[in-house]
Amino acid sequence: IREGMVTGDAEEDDKERKQRTGTSAWQDLRGDHANVALLLLLYTLQGIPMGLAASVPLLLQERGASYAQQSVFSFVSWPFSLKLCWAPIVDSIYSERIGRRRSWLIPVQLICAAMMILSPAYVNAMLERVEVGGLTACFFALYLLMATQDIAVDGWALTMLSRRNVGYASTCNSIGQTLGYMISFVLFMAINSPEFCNQYLRASPQNTGMVSLGGFMSLFGWVFLGTTVYVALFKPEGTPRPLQAEDHTR
């Protein structure tokens, strides 16, 4: 009988634990919903240049680029592998008035926004002429900016989120970067393809896709700009939140 009572109590505990788990993630984020949304947006924007860079070799191949030229373009992703080299600089040099992370985040995203907004003036022409050197330099610069943005956002997440929710920062990183990559690679390649657009999106066939590489970059350049203005005007960096009593119980 005693064993049966113990088993019954254990089953009840399991049921209660499952019920708590279903809502605990949302409840734990109370007070941090807006912060998580902002982190997701920042990490999503970070994935946009990555996805576009992944699409460029396919576009170059359509225009007759050799494998050697495509291999040269692969150097654009190096900044993310080497960001540890300048991470200490990003962490130690900043304006106290602006904030440790925003001192880098705001100018980096403004430069990225300017490059992407102005991209129709040069990216499309370089792509049509298969100027691999120019495209490599352009996307290398974007990767360098996004690697620096990643350093700043990773650091900011530690103080933006309450201590009990800091673990969600890596989740925001994974989801955001993947979402941005999917948008700028899968979605872009679809609406850039004349065949896809003619079959699914147009009433009458045309010889070009619905958006060019430069046009897509320009669109998200404005998103970068709007996000940066919001962060600059309405999102002060603040100070780390104190550890609450409930955090000790987790």
In a domain, 4, yes or no: no
In a domain, 139, yes or no: yes
* Residue 202, both tokens: 């147009």
In a domain, 169, yes or no: yes
Distance, CA of 247 to chain centre: 29
Provide the pLDDT for residue 30.
80
d(CA 111, CA 117): 10
In a domain, 20, yes or no: no
Provide the pLDDT for residue 11.
52
In a domain, 93, yes or no: yes
Say how many domains are in the chain: 1
Under a CB-based contact definition with an 8 Å cutoff, are residues 49 and 143 in contact? yes
In a domain, 17, yes or no: no
In a domain, 8, yes or no: no
Residue 74 CB neighbour total at 10 angstroms: 11
Tens digits of pLDDT across the chain (250 residues): 544 544 454 455 445 544 545 556 667 788 899 999 999 999 999 999 999 999 999 999 999 999 999 999 999 999 999 999 999 999 999 999 999 999 999 999 999 999 999 999 999 999 999 999 999 999 999 999 999 999 999 999 999 999 889 999 999 999 999 999 999 999 999 999 999 999 999 989 999 999 999 999 999 999 999 999 999 999 998 765 554 544 444 4
User: What are the backbone angles phi and psi of residue 219, rounded to the nearest 5°?
Assistant: -60, -50
In a domain, 179, yes or no: yes
Q: Which CATH number do you get for residue 172?
A: 1.20.1250.20
The domain of 210 spans 33-236
In terms of phi and psi (left: phi > 0; alpha: psi -120 to 50; beta: otherwise), the region of 16 is alpha
* Residue 189, both tokens: 């390649």
Residues 6+ apart with CB under 8 A from 98: 106, 237
Provide the pLDDT for residue 31.
81
What global pTM score does this model have?
A: 0.85
Provide the pLDDT for residue 174.
96
